[in-house]
């Protein structure tokens, strides 16, 4: 008889999520998650929680789009729903300037590939109808780049990542939206790392017809709860005409459980799939937190603390190449060049969860998701500079610490 192995109970330590995401789940979210009772996906309070979440999400995203709801899963789940209306042979232009926009490009090539193109290269199809416009790592996609590509290719769809988390670069959303409007293209935006971090309203970008984000970055909820998505009536009308090849991520069908039926708000949702009372309770609390602190208030706080972190690592000899406010992407001082992975691994081994870049060139990424206070930023700087010093960087930690303290004192004085 084969021996049955029961492993010891799984223990996972608490670490500092100082990377591009997932961020530090808010304690209030964890508390709601753990306090939800056992209830099925058609229980009245679960359905009410979903309807309330839908309404709060519209407020946070700044939209009157009826089709605004959460897709169970993470960012890629929301993006899969977003890209679901792209059918084989559809003409698409996608802008790629890092790891995540690169995967968006792959997703679109998979969806737009013909059966023959997919069979020829199943994991990396070369779809003739998809144009990938590549922008070098560390640079932003500009309005001019988008304008030129849409003028040349006249696609049905255009896709761009708002904040490219791979390289820490902000792309020109205004330019993208304007170009989509000018060429009558339906714009699709990966807003996975910008929602809840930057102060913007999606309805101010009329060239964009679909948006997708994630639970665990700016929204500070748990991964595998809900990825926010929003679709204009134009997107939905197009989808009604063409259909799409998914049940679970179908934007019209999935919206039903959130009480969006026949394009209108219903009192409560109807069955689409099983939802989790825990996930609904956590997501609902995360949205409450964002609204209580306000999107504008959080955006201001991110900008302030990112500037403090950027100043400190620059003073320590690093070169920052990013411009996102939730993430610093940097090159190490010359003396440590080539030792990025070693440094990241040393930090991670101590529960300080920073990240390397996932595609070339190798850089270090330090994030501050839901770490918006002086104590947290000081801890990050101390650990990071300490790790560089252990590798022989010889940085004057005291001077860096004093400089950081001065910035915070000046901010307090200015209040």
Ligand X SMILES: *Cc1c(COP(=O)(O)O)cnc(C)c1O
- Of the candidate residues 23, 49, 70, 75, the single one contacting ligand X (CB under 6 A): 75
Please report whether residue 161 would count as binding ligand X according to CB under 6 A. Answer: yes
Q: Which stretch binds ligand X (CB under 6 A): 172-180, 186-194, 265-273, 308-316?
A: 186-194
Report the C-alpha dihedral over residues 205, 207, 212, 215, rounded to 10 degrees: 0
218 binds ligand X (CB under 6 A): no
Cβ 200 to ligand X, closest distance in Å? 15
CB of 33 to ligand X, least distance (A): 17
Q: Which is nearer to ligand X, 100 or 157 (CB)?
A: 100
Stretch that binds ligand X, among 185-193, 249-257, 322-330, 361-369 (CB under 6 A): 185-193
Part in contact with ligand X (CB under 6 A); list of ranges 49-57, 141-149, 188-196, 256-264: 188-196
DSSP per position, 122-173? TTS---TTEEEEE--TT-PPPHHHHHHHHHHH--SEEEEESEETTTTEE--H
Pick the closer one to ligand X by CB: 65 or 216: 216
The answer to whether the beta carbons of residues 353 and 332 sit under 8 Å apart is no
- Minimal distance, residue 260 CB to ligand X, in Å: 23
Q: How far is CA 391 from CA 168, 256, 319, 384, in A?
A: 25, 55, 18, 11
* Closest to ligand X by CB, 45 or 199: 199
Give the distance, in angstroms, between the CA of residue 93 and the centroid of all CA atoms in the same chain: 21
Compute the least distance from the CB of residue 80 to ligand X, in Å: 9
210 binds ligand X (CB under 6 A): no
3-state secondary structure (DSSP) of residue 374: helix
In 154-242, which ranges are continuous DSSP H helix? Answer: 173-182, 233-242
From the list 221, 173, 172, the residue with the least C-alpha distance to 71 is 221
Among 76, 95, 200, 283, binds ligand X (CB under 6 A): 76
The two structure tokens encoding residue 215:
């639970």
User: How far is 22 from 282, CA to CA, in rounded Å?
Assistant: 15
Which of 25, 107, 193, 230 binds ligand X (CB under 6 A)? It is 193
Q: Give, as ranges, the residues between 391 and 410 that touch ligand X (CB under 6 A).
A: none
Question: Which residue of 160, 214, 299, 327 would you call a contact of ligand X, by CB under 6 A?
Answer: 214
Figure out which of the listed residues 84, 107, 165, 378 binds ligand X, where binding follows CB under 6 A. 165
Number of residues that bind ligand X (CB under 6 A): 11
H-helix or E-strand containing 404?
helix 397-414
* Closest to ligand X by CB, 230 or 238: 230
Taking the complex as a whole, the smallest distance from the CB of residue 234 to ligand X amounts, in Å, to 23
Single out the residue of 65, 74, 107, 225 in contact with ligand X (rule: CB under 6 A). Answer: 74
CB nearer ligand X, residue 183 or residue 226: 226
Rounded Cα distance between 377 and 385, Å, is 12
Burial pattern 174-202, b for ≥16 Cβ within 10 A else e, equals ebbbbbbeebebbbbbbbbbbbbbbbbeb
- Secondary structure letter of residue 203 according to DSSP: G
> Which residues are at the interface with ligand X (CB under 6 A)?
21, 74-76, 100, 161, 165, 190, 192-193, 214
């Amino acid at each position: 008889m084969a021996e049955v192995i029961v492993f010891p109970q799984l223990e996972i330590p608490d670490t500092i999520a100082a990377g591009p995401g997932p961020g530090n789940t808010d304690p209030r979210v964890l508390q709601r998650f753990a306090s939800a009772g056992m209830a099925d996906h058609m229980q009245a309070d679960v359905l009410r929680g979903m309807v309330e979440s839908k309404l709060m999400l519209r407020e946070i995203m700044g939209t009157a789009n009826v089709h605004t709801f959460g897709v169970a899963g993470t960012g890629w789940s929301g993006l899969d729903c977003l890209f679901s209306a792209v059918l084989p042979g559809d003409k698409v232009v996608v802008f790629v300037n890092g790891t995540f926009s690169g995967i968006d490009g792959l997703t679109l090539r998979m969806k737009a590939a013909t059966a023959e193109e997919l069979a020829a290269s199943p994991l990396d199809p070369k779809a003739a109808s998809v144009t990938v416009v590549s922008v070098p790592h560390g640079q932003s996609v500009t309005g001019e780049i988008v304008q030129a590509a849409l003028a040349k290719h006249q696609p049905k769809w255009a896709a761009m990542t708002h904040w490219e988390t791979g390289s820490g670069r902000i792309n020109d959303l205004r330019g993208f939206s304007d170009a989509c409007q000018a060429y009558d293209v339906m714009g699709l935006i990966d807003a996975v790392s910008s929602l809840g971090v930057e102060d913007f309203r999606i309805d101010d970008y009329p060239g964009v017809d679909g948006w997708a984000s994630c639970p665990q970055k700016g929204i500070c909820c748990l991964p595998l709860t809900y990825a926010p998505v929003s679709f204009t009536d134009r997107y939905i009308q197009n989808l009604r005409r063409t259909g799409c090849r998914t049940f679970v991520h179908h934007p019209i069908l999935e919206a039903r459980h959130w009480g969006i039926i026949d394009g209108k708000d219903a009192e409560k949702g109807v069955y689409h799939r099983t939802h989790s009372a825990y996930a609904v309770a956590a997501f609902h609390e995360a949205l409450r937190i964002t609204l209580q602190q306000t999107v504008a208030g959080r955006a201001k706080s991110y900008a302030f603390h990112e500037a403090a972190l950027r100043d400190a690592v620059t003073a320590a000899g690093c070169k920052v190449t990013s411009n996102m406010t939730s993430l610093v992407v940097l090159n190490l001082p010359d003396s440590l060049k080539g030792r990025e992975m070693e440094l990241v691994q040393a930090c991670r081994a101590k529960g300080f969860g920073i990240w390397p870049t996932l595609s070339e060139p190798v850089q270090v990424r330090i994030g501050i998701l839901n770490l918006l206070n002086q104590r947290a930023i000081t801890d990050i700087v101390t650990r990071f500079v300490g790790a560089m010093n252990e590798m022989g960087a010889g940085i004057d930690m005291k001077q860096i610490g004093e400089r950081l303290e001065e910035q915070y004192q000046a901010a307090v004085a200015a209040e």
